[in-house]
C-alpha cells in the first residue's frame, strides 16, 4: 500500500508539473502570437500577428518545450564571467563596472561573490546620482533583490518564477552555498527566440578579427568558406564542403557534440579551435589558431 501511495504521489506531482509548464507555455505563446501552440501548428496557411513564418514559429515552440528538460546549469554564465561589484565600491567604481560590462544590472557582494547581497540597477544610479544629483552615495540603500536557484532547476520553472516575482536576474547556488553562475531573463528568452542583439552588440557584427599572426577570434556563425578565403587555408575536404557552412559547424563535426566553454579542439593538421563562449545548445565564439608550420592547404581530418 505504501509503495502504491508513493507512486501515485510521484505521478500526481509530475502531472502537476506538466500542467504548470503547459500553462506557462500556452500563456507565453499567446503573448507572442495571440494564439496557442496548437493553433500555430494547425493553421499553417494563416500568418501570425508578428508575421513569423510557420517554420520559425514551430522552431520557437520546440524550444519552449525543450525548456521543460533543460536545466539552469545548462545556460548559466560561469562565475568567472560574472560582472559584479563589492558593497564598498564607490560611485565611480560602479559606473565603471556598468560601462565595462554594458549590463543594466550587476550583482553586489560582500567580500566575495559567494556572499551576494542583491543587485544594483543602472536606472537607480542614473536617477538618484546622475543628472547633476548631489545625494551622498550609498550603494546598500539602493540594492534590489536577487533570485537564488539551484543548477538543477528546470528553465521553465525559473521563467515562471521570474515572471511571478518580477525579477530579471538569478544567481545559481551550488550545494555548498557558493555561487556557481548567473542567469538573466534575457538568457531564458534567447533559448526560445534565439540570440537577441542590441546596440551594444554591434561590434559582434564583425565575424572575425586577427588577434595575432594566424590567430583569429571569430563568431561561430562565420561562413566557413569566407573564413578560409581570408585566412588562406582549407579546413575541410572537398566532399564535406556542402555539409558544413560555418566555423561552429566545423567544430561540431570534429567532435560530434556541442563543446563546452574553454574546451580546445585540434584537427588532424594541428589547427586549434578554442571555445570562448558557448551554451548547452550552440557555440558562440571561437579562437582559431592555424598551424602555420604545417600544410595549411590540407583539410581537417
pLDDT digits (tens, 9 = 90+) for 24-80: 555 555 555 455 555 555 554 545 444 545 555 666 666 666 666 788 988 888 887
What mean pLDDT is predicted for residues 256-277? Answer: 91
11 or 288, higher pLDDT: 288
Q: Stretch 116-123: mean pLDDT, rounded?
A: 96
Instruction: Between 57 and 262, name the one with better pLDDT.
Output: 262
Task: State residue 49's pLDDT score.
Answer: 47
CATH of domain 206-289: 3.30.465.10
Average pLDDT over residues 261-284: 87
Amino acid 92: pLDDT = 94
Give me the helices (H) in 34-90, please: 37-42, 54-66, 72-75
List, for residues 184-241, the tens digit of each pLDDT value: 998 888 877 766 666 555 454 688 999 999 999 999 989 999 999 999 998 987 666 6
Higher pLDDT, 113 or 48: 113
* pLDDT given at position 130: 85
pLDDT at 19 > cutoff 50: no
Task: State the pLDDT at residue 58.
Answer: 60
Residue 90 has pLDDT above 60, yes or no: yes
Residue whose C-alpha is closest to residue 218's, from 289, 300, 287? 287
- Among 36-50, 179-193, 259-273, 286-300, top mean pLDDT goes to 259-273
Please choose, from the candidates 104, 116, 122, 124, the residue with its C-alpha nearest in 3D space to the C-alpha of residue 178: 116
pLDDT surpassing 80 at residue 116: yes
Measured distance CA(59)–CA(241) in Å, rounded: 26
Please check the confidence at residue 93 and state whether its pLDDT lies above 80. Answer: yes
167 pLDDT more than 50? yes
15's grid cell? 502531472
Over residues 4-22, the mean pLDDT reads 46
Tens-place pLDDT, residues 130-164: 877 778 999 999 999 999 999 999 988 998 999 99
pLDDT tens track for 248-260 = 989 999 999 888 8
Calculate the alpha carbon distances from 289 to 128, 155, 175, 257, 262 in Å.
Answer: 47, 35, 38, 20, 14
Q: Does the pLDDT at position 13 exceed 70? A: no
Rounded to an integer, what distance in angstroms lies between the CA atom of residue 155 and that of residue 102? 25
Across 2-14, average pLDDT: 45
Q: How far apart are CA 172 and CA 78, in angstroms?
A: 9
Output the pLDDT for position 197.
61
CATH of 73-193, one of 3.40.605.10, 3.40.50.300, 3.90.1170.30, 3.10.580.10: 3.10.580.10
Q: List the single range of 12-16, 23-27, 56-60, 117-121 with lowest mean pLDDT.
A: 12-16
Q: Which of 67, 129, 47, 57 is nearest to 94 (CA)?
A: 129
Q: Sort 57 into a burial class: Cβ within 10 Å, 0-12 / 13-18 / 19+.
A: buried
Rg of the chain (C-alpha set):
23
* pLDDT of 8 higher than 90: no
Check residue 9 and give its pLDDT: 46
Name the residue with higher pLDDT: 16 or 171.
Answer: 171
Tell me the mean pLDDT in the region 123-127. Answer: 93
Amino acid at each position: 500500500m505504501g509503495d502504491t501511495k508513493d507512486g501515485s504521489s510521484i505521478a500526481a506531482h509530475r502531472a502537476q508539473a506538466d500542467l504548470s509548464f503547459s500553462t506557462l507555455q500556452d500563456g507565453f505563446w499567446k503573448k507572442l502570437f495571440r494564439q496557442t501552440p496548437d493553433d500555430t501548428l494547425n493553421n499553417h496557411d494563416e500568418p501570425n500577428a508578428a508575421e513569423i513564418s510557420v517554420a520559425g514559429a514551430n522552431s520557437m515552440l520546440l524550444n519552449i518545450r525543450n525548456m521543460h528538460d533543460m536545466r539552469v546549469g545548462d545556460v548559466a554564465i560561469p562565475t568567472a564571467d560574472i560582472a559584479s561589484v563589492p558593497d564598498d565600491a564607490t560611485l565611480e567604481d560602479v559606473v565603471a563596472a556598468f560601462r565595462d560590462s554594458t549590463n543594466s544590472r550587476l550583482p553586489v557582494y560582500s567580500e566575495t561573490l559567494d556572499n551576494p547581497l542583491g543587485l544594483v540597477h543602472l536606472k537607480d544610479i542614473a536617477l538618484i546620482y546622475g543628472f547633476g544629483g548631489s545625494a551622498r552615495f550609498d550603494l546598500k540603500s539602493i540594492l534590489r533583490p536577487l533570485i537564488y536557484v539551484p543548477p538543477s532547476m528546470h528553465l521553465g520553472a525559473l521563467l515562471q518564477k521570474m515572471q511571478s516575482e518580477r525579477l530579471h536576474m538569478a544567481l545559481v547556488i551550488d550545494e555548498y552555498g557558493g555561487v556557481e553562475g548567473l542567469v538573466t531573463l534575457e538568457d531564458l528568452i534567447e533559448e526560445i527566440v534565439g540570440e537577441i542583439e542590441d546596440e551594444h552588440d554591434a561590434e559582434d557584427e564583425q565575424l572575425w578579427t586577427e588577434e595575432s599572426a594566424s590567430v583569429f577570434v571569430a563568431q561561430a556563425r562565420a561562413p566557413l568558406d569566407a573564413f578560409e578565403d581570408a585566412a588562406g587555408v582549407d579546413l575541410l575536404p572537398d566532399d564535406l564542403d556542402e555539409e558544413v557552412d560555418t566555423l561552429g559547424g566545423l567544430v561540431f563535426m570534429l567532435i560530434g557534440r556541442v563543446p563546452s566553454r574553454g574546451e580546445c579542439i585540434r584537427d588532424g593538421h594541428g589547427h586549434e579551435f578554442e571555445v570562448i563562449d558557448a551554451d548547452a545548445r550552440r557555440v558562440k565564439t571561437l579562437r582559431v589558431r592555424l598551424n602555420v608550420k604545417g600544410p595549411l592547404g590540407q583539410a581537417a581530418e
